[in-house]
Structure 1
Amino acid sequence: MNKTLWEKVLAFSFDQPNDQYGFSTRLALENHWTIHFTQSAIIEYKKFLFLAATNNEMVSPSEIVDIVWHQHLIFTNSYSDFCDLLGKRIEHIPSTHNRSEFDKFKMAKERTKELYEVNFGPQLAEIWHYHNELDSLHLERSSYEISKLRKNFLIYTIALSFPVCLVLFSFLIKINNPNFLIAYLLLFVVVILFLKFYVRKSFLSLYDTIKSNFILQNLTALEMVFFRENKLDAVIHGVVNNLIINHKIKILTNDRLELIDESFVENRYENCIVEIMKDFEPMSYKELCKTASQKPIFEQLQKATYRIRNRIFDSKKFANVVILVMSILGFLLSIGFSRFITGVWRGKPITFLLFAIVPLVLVSLYYINQVLNLMFTTIIPSVFEDKARIATAHEKNWEWDYFLYGNIIVASSFMPLINYNTNSVSSNNFTSSGSCGTSSCGTSSCGSSCGSSCGGCGGD
């Protein structure tokens, strides 16, 4: 192995300083990748081209490495400079999927694996063994759409009330008020307490099966802030707060923000805020927050986190828990609705029952929403709290501090500004993400799809 060349390759940067939409940001945004996974994919891509440059036989990338390669080909100057560093122009050879080429590309993949292991050790599974890196979570997809079931929960419950009423009619008319109402409310409380225990235990068990995953283990502090809060402006609060604490931004008497230090730092989120404010006179925080949320660097963080949420949310294990909760609460509410129907049918007073059912419906809907978000707002963040404490104990890190303590560490002068009354930048709807984004080939001559179109590269 040419260690001198490898060190130069590893040090080569694909990004220009303070680019708001540079190579890595664009790569992460278009593929909805996390920050750490994006950087890991870039390193694996460097390893691949290093092998291509230092061997005379054909090598072939993984699907994910090929996505990085496609993106780099679009950045023509950077790609040329990188090839100059390697000492060889690496040509991208698309696969035509002809049967005659199958053996050639299969051998190239096997050769790549052998060369990789000799030079770098075992391949990183999430990047080399999967077409979609989130498949490494090994979560079976549910055949049910949880969001649709949640939307129609009340409709299904009301529809269930009529057959329940027919079955329980003779039983319901034997129980007088207020005995029924007291027993019904107590039953509801017991069921909710049982479900809370069951849901937490089930989600902890689910997380135990995926917590060792490379992608989940390496979520950043700000990605975890978004995971927990599900609001992009919560992330922006932390970034701006650190700029205020470090005296790069000051709050004016009219509650507007003024940039007083235009110098850049190592944190790219802070640099993005600085770039925004350089182009404006003192601006309101509401305006700054809105502008920042539309920048690629913050949009990327939101999309990458949503994509992970989506995969867990759509999994069979997650769906089974939610469906059981909705089924139990739906059946319990249907008993109350049945009692209401029998009361109307028999001309009995139903005022108190009505006053009880309405709050129970609201409680049920609220609890279902809690269940849907518990994994992301509580279970996963609670595991990362220990990691955050370790990180801050060894080295002061404002991002992990902000994840741990939230608004407790926000400057007192900044608190009134972050409590503005506006709609959240993000929504509670989980958005799906495509596998290739807009990077699926760009201007390169690599066929029709991002991953499978590349056979490899020549060794000439």
Structure 2
Amino acid sequence: MNKEEKELWKKVKAFKLDSPKEDYGFSIKLSHENKWTIQFTEDAILEYKKFMFLAAISKSMVSPSHIIDIVWHQHLTFSHSYKSFCELLGKSINHIPSTGKVGEREVLKNAVNFTKEKYEKYFDKQNAIIWSVKSFEDSIKLQQASKNWNLSNSQLILVGVLLLIPTFFLWKPILLKIGNPEFIQIAIMGLIFSIVFIEYFTREGFNNAYSSLVYDNEYIRKLKPEESIVIATRNTEQLALYKLNNLFENKLIETKRDSTNLKKVNSTKKSEDVVENSILNYVKENSKNDLRVVLNEASNKPFLTRFLDTGEMIQNKIMNSKAIIEHKIIISFILFLLYSFLFSRFILGTLRDKPVLILMIFIVLSLVIFYVYLMDRYKVLYKRRFLSAIDTHVDTDQYLDGILLNQNVVLAGALTALIIASGYGPKKKETSWFDSTWGSCSSCSSCSSCSSCSSCSSCSSCSSCGGCGGD
């Protein structure tokens, strides 16, 4: 770059597309409507500015990527900002859509090649993702399972029920040779074996999918702390609490005496965060600033709810990944082996007029245990990993960590306001998001397996009130 071009690029790069007073400004609208992460949005805007700079200094036509074109389209709708931007560039840059005319493809191809050469001359290599993908979802290189194998839980259950009859005839010769005490022991051992292996395959499948998601996708590694919170918890109130706690710690907000009503502190200090500024503006402009009202107001704003759509898309990518679906099939096979064995015994005992009450209770209890365990297991792993092991760290403290993991969000927020305002809040210490959150969740993983084992004793022996379908 020559001196004039350097000066122009400096001004273009510094040009603000967002206003700090807007709750739904340019970048928030862009990320919300396209399900982009914060870093992806920032990089897309930067690449858009580079493209417009090249358009301003070039005599030949330049061509944007699909992502940059999305940014350009939105900027055109912000007419006053776009006009000011073109004035800064010293050139009115018109958006010329494709018409599909004969020969246009060759012209566009030449424009793409020219743009790449010009870009690399001024800015080194292009951002490979921003200049190649059509959506943020396309940037997530996580292998998805074939639709033929991605069966719902109800479909898997239906397949299992249909296979029970033929498997009954396979188990029958074996079951006729097994007496009641031996059968009970085998059933209990089979249940324990299934719990251990299902836990292993659940963790293995999720960890494989998560590792692939994180290590193969730089924008997942670059998630901001606020995105990680919403993606993990699917709860914008917890993120609002996180922002409120920052405002308390930075002494930009405080509680009124003997109440949970908030007020803005008269200070020259300002927050650079869009969410925090919006909360501050709301507190300043409204007299009824009870913490619960502020939490509800903030948590329903688009600058927070936008993360929900992105989180849902990421969660769907993980849950429908090849790694998890393959392990789900293995888990389904283990459960089928166990329950085809138990149900075959139940059918055989019923046909032979043997007592089967204890066996029926054992089957029902174990089914309930597995249902409760598997229903939330992936959610627990998902929440834990995104809060603890994502490659994004944030300075926090044990008190804030307790709030984020507290199920009663409103009560936790009220305690935050009262404690910090009264001067008894926590002293800030240096610790990572990984250390604080993982430590608080370390005891969760064993609960399901323990509860499963405790129910096994219900079938420890056969009594006069029923039996296990044997002799």
The TM-score with structure 1 as length reference comes to 0.79
Change (3 A) 1:290 1:191: same
Unmatched 5+ residue regions in structure 1? 393-397, 420-460
Q: What does residue 298 of structure 1 align with?
A: 304
Q: Does 2:228 align with 1:191?
A: no
What SS does the aligned partner of 2:366 have? helix
Tell whether the 8 Å contact from 1:241 to 1:414 is kept in structure 2 after alignment: no
Amino acid paired to 1:189 = I
Q: CA deviation at 1:381?
A: 4.1
Tell me the equivalent position of 1:367.
Answer: 373
Name the CA shift for 1:224/1:408 in 2 (closer, same or farther; >3 Å): closer
- What is the letter of the counterpart of residue 320 of structure 1? E
Asked if structure 2 preserves the Cα contact closer than 8 Å seen for 1:158 and 1:337, the reply is no
Equivalents in 1 of 2:163, 2:194: separation in Å? 19
SS in 1 for 2:390: helix
- Corresponding position: 1:101 with 2:112: no
Match of 2:31 among 28, 46, 59: 28
Describe the shift of the 1:233–1:173 C-alpha distance in structure 2 as closer, same or farther (beyond 3 A).
farther
Query: How many angstroms does 1:240 deviate by?
Result: 2.7
Counterpart pick for 1:41 among 27, 44, 51: 44
Residue 308 of structure 1 corresponds to 314
Consecutive unaligned residues of structure 2, counting only runs of 5 or more, are: 417-471
How far the C-alpha of 1:329 sits from its partner, in A, is: 2.2
Distance in structure 2 (CA, Å) of the matches to 1:325 and 1:194: 8
Which position in structure 2 is the counterpart of 1:328? 334
The aligned runs of 1:80-229 (5 Å cut-off) are: 80-144=83-147, 149-210=152-213, 211-229=215-233
Write the distance in 2 (CA, Å) between the matches of 1:131 and 1:219: 20
- Kindly indicate whether the alpha-carbon contact (under 8 Å) linking 2:247 and 2:276 is maintained by their aligned counterparts in 1: yes
SS in 2 for 1:228: helix
CA spacing shift, 1:206–1:147, aligned 2, 3 Å? closer
Contact 2:32/2:306 (CA < 8 Å) preserved in 1? yes
Q: CA deviation at 1:56?
A: 0.7
The one-letter code of the counterpart of 2:66 is: E
- Matched residue SS, 1:126: coil
Deviation (angstroms), 1:241: 3.2
Aligned to 1:429: none
Distance between the aligned counterparts of 1:275 and 1:342, measured in 2?
72
Q: Paired residue for 2:346, among 340, 351, 356?
A: 340
Q: Is the 8 A contact 2:142 2:212 kept in 1?
A: no
C-alpha contact 1:58 1:108 (8 A) present in aligned 2: yes
| Whole-angstrom distance in 2 between the partners of 1:252 and 1:321 | 56
How has the CA–CA distance of structure 1 residues 402 and 29 changed in structure 2, closer, same or farther, with 3 Å as cutoff? farther
Larger radius of gyration: 2
Kindly report the root-mean-square deviation, in angstroms, between the aligned alpha carbons of the 2 structures: 3.2
Give the partner amino acid of 1:201: E
TM superposition score normalised by structure 2? 0.77
Tell me how many residue pairs correspond in the alignment. 408
1:349 aligns with 2:355: yes
What is the distance in 2 between the residues matched to 1:375 and 1:207? Answer: 10
CA deviation vs aligned residue, 1:163-214 (integer Å, no higher than 9, x gap): 3223212322432334323322222222222232334334333444341422
- Higher relative contact order structure (alpha carbons within 8 Å, sequence separation ≥ 6): 1
- Contact between 2:209 and 2:318, CA under 8 Å: does it hold in 1? no
C-alpha distance in 1 between matches for 2:27 and 2:413: 35
Deviates more, 1:14-23 or 1:164-173: 164-173
Establish whether residue 74 from structure 1 lines up as the match of residue 80 from structure 2.
no
Percent identity among equivalent residues? 33
Displacement of 1:128: 0.4
Aligned to 1:250: 255
Task: Give the counterpart letter for 2:379 in structure 1.
Answer: N
Q: Distance in 1 between matches of 2:257 and 2:185?
A: 57
Distance 1:343 1:215 in 2: 58
Contact 1:144 1:319 in 2 (8 A): no
Q: 1:98-136 deviations in whole A, cap 9, x for unaligned? A: 332000001111111111111111111111011123323
Cα distance, 1:309–1:52 mapped onto 2, change above 3 Å: same
Equivalent position of 2:403 in the other structure: 407
Whole-angstrom distance in 1 between the partners of 2:390 and 2:332: 29
Contact 1:221 1:403 in 2 (8 A): no
Q: How far is the alpha carbon of 1:153 from its aligned partner?
A: 4.4
Counterpart in the other structure of 1:241: 245
In 2, the alpha carbon distance for the partners of 1:418 and 1:364 equals: 37
CA 1:300/1:213 → structure 2, altered by over 3 Å: closer, same or farther? same
Q: Distance in 2 between matches of 1:134 and 1:412?
A: 31
How many angstroms does 1:222 deviate by?
A: 1.6
CA distance in 2, matches of 1:10, 1:272: 25
| 2:403 maps to amino acid | N
On the 8 A contact 2:242/2:400 being kept in 1, the answer is no
1:139-162 CA distances to partner (integer Å, 9 max, x unpaired)? 333233888612444444333333
**d(CA) in 2 for partners of 1:117 and 1:108?**
14
- Matched to 1:89, the amino acid is S
**SS of the residue 1:188 aligns to:** helix
Q: Does structure 2 retain, via aligned residues, the 8 Å contact 1:142–1:314?
A: yes
Instruction: Name whichever of 94-103 and 61-70 sits farther off.
Output: 94-103
Write out per-residue CA displacement over residues 338-390 of structure 1, whole angstroms, 9 at most, x where no aligned residue. 333333332222222222222321232233334533652234544327x52xx
Could you tell me whether the CA contact under 8 Å between 1:322 and 1:371 is conserved in 2?
no
Instruction: Please state how far the C-alpha of 1:309 moved relative to its aligned partner.
Output: 2.0
More deviation, 97-106/144-153? 144-153
- Aligned equivalents of 1:119, 1:239: Cα separation in 2: 39
1:308 is displaced (CA, Å) by 1.9
- More displaced 10-residue stretch of structure 1: 153-162 or 312-321: 153-162
